[in-house]
Structure 1
């Protein structure tokens, strides 16, 4: 059976899909980001954005008469996400560095002596990691998805169970301080492991090169 030759539009569309697939992005996600960073900077109009998304929705892109729009979108994606061979963007690295800086400067990783420190203050400090995550993801948006997936897993499986359990218990005068400290120690161990994972995954520690 003779293979059908692909049009330029189809080839461009395949290239776009190949880039966004590892990022777990949909065509509509890309178009919204493209519109916001180009047309949306100059025209703040919901109806025009809706019209744009309808006109250039993925099912219609490949059927456009001119390949210009596809080429423009492809170049935008390549620049916006600066995709490396391992799928990590510079924004992933920036977000990971900022989160790790917060993590390593807080009680989430730093030990406290048994008879020192305020448990309520320690819990509040750990809570701020959620705010840090939200701020970073709002700032870097779609460009830090690999970082977001990794850090969301840490926050939801390590930090959230701890904060959910203690946010009311710690307000009781009869809360078990020994149990709190024991579970805090466990969280610190897991948090230090996550910090190491961030550093290795996103190359946050520069290669020192061969020893002399």
Structure 2
């Protein structure tokens, strides 16, 4: 799922697309929570900390940088890629947990190849 939301080729080639992919996790999560309501409590308990502690700080910082034109600078693009690379293993842990919760095979490792 993670690689479908944020294709590896986009993540490391185009910073704007990568930022949009990461940000899209908020909308996808919102849709799932609205669709399943109280039945999605286990999902909510897992994903809300992910959003608030990992995704939100990243997107808040880099959205501001993007709006200020920082992606025009090679050093800022490299910093973005480095921070994105540091965040991806954390996101993969969550995708494994979500797959386990759903009772399906975690295809993240296969999709990243």
The equivalent position to 1:152 in structure 2, one of 48, 66, 85, is: 48
Give structure 1 regions of 4+ aligned residues with deviation exceeding 4 angstroms: none
The equivalent position to 1:197 in structure 2, one of 88, 97, 107, is: 97
Higher relative contact order (CA 8 A, sep 6+): 2
Q: CA RMSD in A?
A: 2.3
Q: Output the CA distance in 2 between the equivalents of 1:174 and 1:147.
A: 35
Question: Which residue number corresponds to residue 8 of structure 2?
Answer: 111
Displacement after TM superposition at 1:146 (Å): 0.8
Structure with the higher helix share, 1 or 2: 2
- Unpaired runs of 5+ residues, structure 2, are 107-113
Residues 113 and 142 of structure 1, relative CA distance in 2, 3 Å threshold? closer
Instruction: State the TM-score, normalized to the length of structure 1.
Output: 0.44
Q: Is the 8 A contact 1:111 1:185 kept in 2?
A: no
Q: Output the CA distance in 2 between the equivalents of 1:104 and 1:112.
A: 9
Q: Deviations over 1:140-164 (max 9, x none)?
A: 1111101111011111111111001
Instruction: State the TM-score, normalized to the length of structure 2.
Output: 0.77
Question: Which residue number corresponds to residue 127 of structure 1?
Answer: 23
Q: What secondary structure is seen at the aligned counterpart in 2 of 1:170?
A: helix
Aligned residue runs from structure 1 range 49-198, under 5 A: 101=1, 103-107=2-6, 110-112=7-9, 117-175=13-71, 176-198=76-98
Displacement after TM superposition at 1:112 (Å): 4.1
Q: Is the 8 A contact 2:10 2:18 kept in 1?
A: no
The alignment of Structure 1 onto Structure 2 pairs a total of residues equal to: 102
Question: Which residue number corresponds to residue 210 of structure 1?
Answer: none
Q: Deviations over 1:186-205 (max 9, x none)?
A: 11111111111222244222
